[in-house]
Structure formats: C-alpha cells, structure tokens
Chain A
Amino acid sequence: MKKRWISLFVENDIGVLARISGLFSGKSYNLNSLTVGTTEDTTISRMTISLTSDDKTFEQIKKQLNRSVEVIKVVDFMDTAIHMKELMFVKIHGCSEHDMMKLSYMKEIFQAKMIDYAPSMALLESVQTEAGNNDLLKLLESDFSGRIEVVRGGSVAIEAISFSER
C-alpha cells in the first residue's frame, strides 16, 4: 500500500464530481483527498486526487477513471516531477503571550503566515506540501492540544517545468 497522486482532466459538467467520487466509494478504493477547479478552458475541470493503494489496484483505478465517459485524460503523477501544494488554515484559541511567541517562531520556520489576530487568538495560513502541513500540524497539536481548529484544502499539483524533483 502506497500513497499516490493522479491528475484528472474532466468535463466541467454537473455530476462529474459525483461520478468520480462515487467510483471510489462504490469500488472501495481508498481516497485521501480530491480537489477540483476549472482550468484555462472553462469547459474543462482538473482534479488532483490523492489515494492509497497497492500497485494492482492503482492500475485498475486508472483504467476505471479512463473508461468514465466524462474523463478526458488521466495523468499518473507517480513518476513525474511536479509542484504540489496544499492550503491549510489553523486557528489557535486561548493564546497566552508566551503561546504567541511560540507561534511566531513556528510560522517563521515553517514559512506559514499569521493572517488574522485577536489578543488571545491567531490564525495561521500554511501553503506547503501535504507532508509539510502535517509536520506543522503535529507540532501545533502537541503544543496547543484541544485549542486548535483546522481546515485543509487537499493538494493541487501541476507538472514541473525545469525542476526534476517534487
């Protein structure tokens, strides 16, 4: 079992998202995250899908996606250099001054931004790889247990131009 990434070009039509997500639930494929938005061509949407599977199931998933009438193209991101980022917001409640200090260290080191603030609250915005966000979150969870509110967007990805690593 391994984590994998797919980029999917689909018709920007009503019900396509349901068809794709339904394929995962109906066939018991393990979907981690799915993001979707329109492209430069507004009739086409592009999805970035993260899933966990073994090799055989992954082959089957790609084939099943390909045979869906609304799918224009399936791009396997496993052997491709890509840029991939995920947006994460973390709201921290009940902050003391000391907490605020810790937060400013953390955001510096993790390249997150503090985008909103009240005397006892802070809101961090982190645009990282999924793993990067996980690391930040782990730290926040240990220091501010029970006081954080998290929302994550799922990753979006695109093929690299000159970079050779993701």
Chain B
Amino acid sequence: MQITGAELFVKALLAEKVDTLFAYPGGQAIDLFNALYGVEGLDVILPRHEQGLVHAADGYARSTGKVGVCLVTSGPGATNLVTGIATANYDSVPLVCFTGQVPTHLIGNDAFQEVDIVGITRSISKYAVTVRRREDLGAVIKKAFYIARSGKPGVVVVDLPKDIQQALGSDGYPQSIEIRSYKPNISVHIGQIKKSLDCLKRAKHPVFLLGGGVNISRANEVMAALAEKTGIPVVTTIMGKGAIPTSHPLYVGNLGIHGSYAANTAISECDVLFSIGVRFNDRITGKVSEFAKSATIIHVDIDPASISRNIEVDIPIVADAKNAITALLEKSPEFDFHEWRIQIDEWKKQKPLGTKQTGESGVTPFAVIQKINEIFSDAVITTDVGQNQLWATQFLELTDQKQMLTSGGLGTMGYGFPAALGAKLGNPDKDVITICGDGGIQMNIQEMATAIVYELPVIICILNNGYLGNVRQWQEMFFDKRYSSTCLRYRRSCAATCNTPSACCPEYTPDFIRLAESYGAKAIRVQKRDEIEAALLSAKNRKKIPTVIEFIIEREENVLPIVPPGNPLSDMIMGGEEDEEKMDQPFC
C-alpha cells in the first residue's frame, strides 16, 4: 500500500514503541502533525518552548531508559533544540530528534525558516541526517533509533523535508537494520578482566570509581553485589551517583572539585583505581598530574576514545559496563580490605558534608535536601545547574527507587524543571522533584503551563539566594569578591558595583509565588526551618497540579569543599576555622 511519508513516520514511531512524543508544530512539520492527529497509543506532549521540549524528552529518556523522541519544525524550531541536543549527547542520553525541513528543491535557497540543522548539530550529536528520498525514510528512522540506543547512547537528528513528508511511497518499515560502518563493541575481553583481578590481588587500598556508564547500563544491582563481594569502597562521579545506594556501607561519596573530603582523599591515596564508565573529566581530576598518582588505573568504558584520553590507563577494558561488571562478579574472589575501609570511614566522620551551612533562618540547602531525603522514598529528582546542583549531588541520598537526573557534562542551566516534566510523564507513579536555583528556573519557567495542562504534579524546589550563586562563589573566592553580573536583585537604582547584600536590597523579581499561582500552580514560600517539612509534605500530597516551593536561603552560602582550579584533589578548601568548630554539632 502507498502511504505518505508522514503516515510512515507515525507508523515507525508506533513500531518503535514510542508512547510519548515531545512535539511543537510549525509550517514545515504540519503534515507530520496532521498524521499524528488522534493517533491512539501515542501521547503527543506540547511544551511551551522547544528547549523545554528537548530537556523534557531527555528527562523522560534518562528516567525510563527508553529513547526520548522530539518533533519540531524547521528553522527556529530546530535551532531551539541545539542546547538540549548537546546536553543529552554529552551525557549519553538516547534521543531521536525529528526536525521539519523546507522541501528538498528549496534546500540551500535561504527559504523561509530554513536552517542546515544537520550541519549545526554535526558536532553535538551522535548522528545527523537529512532524508532526501522518500524510499529511504523507513530505513533512516530505523537506523536512527538503533544508533541512538545502542553502544554509547546519544542523540540522532533526522531532518525531514516537507516534500518527503507528503510523498507517497511504500508502507514498509524494516524490522531490523544492518549498518556496516557502525558496530559498537559491548562484549568483554575476559583476559583483561583476569588481568584486572590479578591487579586487585596485589592491592591494599583499592577504590571503585563509578561514572554515568554504570547507571546508563542499569548495572546498579550487579555493581552493589560486586562491591560487596570484593569489599572495595565505592566513589562516584556526579553522573555515577546512585550506582550503588548512597546509604551502602561501602559508599564513600562523590569525588571532584566539589567532592567529599573522604572521596577525594581516598582517590588521592588509593593504590588501584578501578574505574567504570567514567571519562575523567577535568571536574573530577583536579590537577591531572597529581590524580591518583600512585595508583594502577583500570578503566572500563564502552567508548575506546574515553580510554587514556585524560588519564593514562594501565589496564583498559572496552565493554558495556554491565557486561564487564557481571564478568567481574563471576570471576572475582573475595578480598579483605578491612583496614582501608576503617581508614575511609574515619575520613568520612572527620569531615562530613554540609554540616557547616548556617543560614540565620535555618533554611539551608543541606536542611532542605535532608528533608527531601527523609520524605521521598520512590522518586526521581532532577537538578538544575549551579550551586543547587552541587548541593544536590553532595547531599541527596539515592537508592534503587530514587534516581537523580542532572546535566553533568554540558552543565545546562534551565535543564532541571523541564527534565522533571519528562520524568513525571515517564514515571507517573513516582514523586518527581526538581531542585533548582532562582537563576536556572527562569530559563525555562514557561513550562509551568505544560505542567498545569498535562496535570503533572511535580515539586519545584527553588533555592533562592538572589544570585547566580556558583559564579558569585567563584567571584568571592578567586576574584576578590567582584560580583560582576551575578546579583539577580540588582536594579538600576543600585550602585554600579556592589558586593554587600543586605536587607535593603531591592525586591526580587519575579515574585515566584504570584507567578506560579498565575499559572494555576500551588506555591509556598519557606523562610523558616520548621516550615520545610510541611511544605514538602503538602506538595507530595498534591496529585494534579505542580507545587512551587521557594526556599529563601542565605544569600552567600557556598558549596564546600571546593578544590581551587589547578589544584590537586587533595588540596581542598573546607571552610573557615569557625566552621571547623561547628562541624562537631551537625544541626540536622
């Protein structure tokens, strides 16, 4: 039977078991939307901005493990995806993004709403292609889904010219596809596994360093079993957090420039660093030449290009994390690293995270996140980017039932809230919370309307300090407190330069409470510590509409510890002397 390209597009989505499509229409996509009209088994979600759309698809994909699917029009619709595509691709999130395009005979003509989106996204996607012949359409879509979800997952952009959407052609959609130039290696080389285990036999102070790859391959359970069998302490990157439950006795903490004292010290002192699914990004290594200096480094990664790129690796293992961990679990003997564990526990006790935060009101990020930990047991928590993210990655407790989504690689402000909407659509029975700052929330706040119209009761926690706090912290610590363009309470009436926030500062705009209410959401402002719990509980009980909770926090609260740029991980700023004294009296 002959069907249009648009009809085949819908058929392909259904064949790929797509249940949720994040889509924003426009002139060059109108035929596709026409074909989608009234289709059963496929929820078409209309966000309010294409950037919100792609982050929502990303949140959906990360939280469900399925491919997130976007559909937008040509030109500005397509370019508005760019940040979201880079965000997802950097964190290996499987997305397929369909973009409308001007008809093939107009491509290159500077036609209305024409952009070369394939060219624009070439360096930020896994694969990008314009469909130029109607007869290729089915195979291209099949290929797109396969490439997005296999190997190291990533973003595929499929550009669909209008005439291809309209052209009649075969209704066949391939069952499978063979791509000669694309053969991701996922199986594991047993020889290398044995070599790595031999190395552990000689170790005294080994550490597992787990990254996003462990979470992406859903290896959490086998990983916990492997940690238990070997008795090796576990450190995670931000993307690897939750690889084993954070309450696990073997879990040490996150490493990196805002890592915990115990984790950074363990990494600096270990003799074998068994890393799985990490990239050794500059945010985790600190000064590269000092990183795990005396350790033999074992590195499991699905991407050969990640191996020995930033850190010279002694034993490389190219494989899917889950396959490698399963093989390790099978072949590994039991070890005894008792003394090393006692040492690490000692470090943990000596310098715990978060206890130095002292807002006058008691509404500290630590107190807020501790309450989130207590109240929510089956949840997806997204973060935005900045201090809110760093606090969340330090303090959040994760389990098999609690997952954190964060823009780790690209560090995209505006990610958290729309990602939460996607996560809620994919996990209607879970509580979905986003932790964001007053800066980032405003980058995609228009999606409040999306939350309302689709009845998504997400909980939006805004940690409001009236600053772009992370940059302000750097300005405080490394730029002589020159608060250049970081105060969000600044008004024309203010002095041209100011680094002394006070009670006299101009009022914050917008008023998040009235803004949220105008969308039809519930909004609560929390200014005292004892209001935190009630606000979160009432939000948890709301089943149809989102709740905005604005936590008014100390304006100049810092993320600590911090490894200053260029320093080795072992050289952390922990906080002042006063803080040292308070450290013994954690207030939560």
A residues neighboring B (CB under 8 Å): 10-11, 13-15, 18-19, 22-23, 26, 56, 59-60, 63-64, 66-67, 69-72
> Do B308 and A59 have beta carbons less than 8 Å apart?
yes
B141: min CB distance to chain A, Å: 15
Of A11, A56, A67, A70, the contact of B305 (CB 8 Å cutoff):
A67
Interface residues of B in 140-172 (CB under 8 A from A): 147, 152
B501: min CB distance to chain A, Å: 41
B187 on the interface (CB 8 Å rule)? no
A43 and chain B: residue at smallest CB distance:
B180
Provided the pairs A15-B129, A26-B123 are in contact, do residues A69 and B303 lie with their beta carbons within 8 angstroms? no
> Do A69 and B304 have beta carbons less than 8 Å apart?
no
> Do B305 and A64 have beta carbons less than 8 Å apart?
yes
Of A60, A64, A71, the contact of B181 (CB 8 Å cutoff):
A71
Q: Which residues from A are CB-within-8-Å of B303?
A: 67
Q: Which residues from A are CB-within-8-Å of B122?
A: 15, 18-19, 22
B105-130 CB mask vs A (1 if < 8 Å, else 0) is: 00000000000001100110011111
CA distance A33 to B182 in the complex (A): 25
> Do B147 and A69 have beta carbons less than 8 Å apart?
yes
> Do B304 and A72 have beta carbons less than 8 Å apart?
no
B17: min CB distance to chain A, Å: 23
CA distance A69 to B146 in the complex (A): 12
Of B118, B119, B182, B308, the contact of A69 (CB 8 Å cutoff):
B182
Question: Once A and B bind, how many residue pairs between them come within 8 Å at the CB atom?
Answer: 43
How many chain B residues touch A (Cβ–Cβ < 8 Å)?
A: 22
Provided the pairs A22-B123, A64-B305 are in contact, do residues A10 and B118 lie with their beta carbons within 8 angstroms? no
B1 on the interface (CB 8 Å rule)? no
B189 on the interface (CB 8 Å rule)? no
B293 on the interface (CB 8 Å rule)? no
B309 on the interface (CB 8 Å rule)? yes
CA distance A28 to B83 in the complex (A): 22
Q: Which residues from A are CB-within-8-Å of B304?
A: 63, 66-67
Interface residues of B in 178-214 (CB under 8 A from A): 179-182
B126 and chain A: residue at smallest CB distance:
A69
> Do A18 and B119 have beta carbons less than 8 Å apart?
yes
> Do B127 and A69 have beta carbons less than 8 Å apart?
yes
Provided the pairs A69-B127, A70-B181, A72-B181 are in contact, do residues A14 and B305 lie with their beta carbons within 8 angstroms? no
B338 on the interface (CB 8 Å rule)? no
A83: min CB distance to chain B, Å: 26
CA distance A72 to B180 in the complex (A): 7
A61 and chain B: residue at smallest CB distance:
B305
Q: Which residues from A are CB-within-8-Å of B308?
A: 56, 59
B132 on the interface (CB 8 Å rule)? yes
Q: Which residues from B are CB-within-8-Å of A56?
A: 308
Q: Which residues from A are CB-within-8-Å of B128?
A: 15
> Do B181 and A10 have beta carbons less than 8 Å apart?
yes
A42: min CB distance to chain B, Å: 14
Q: Which residues from B are CB-within-8-Å of A13?
A: 129
A130: min CB distance to chain B, Å: 28
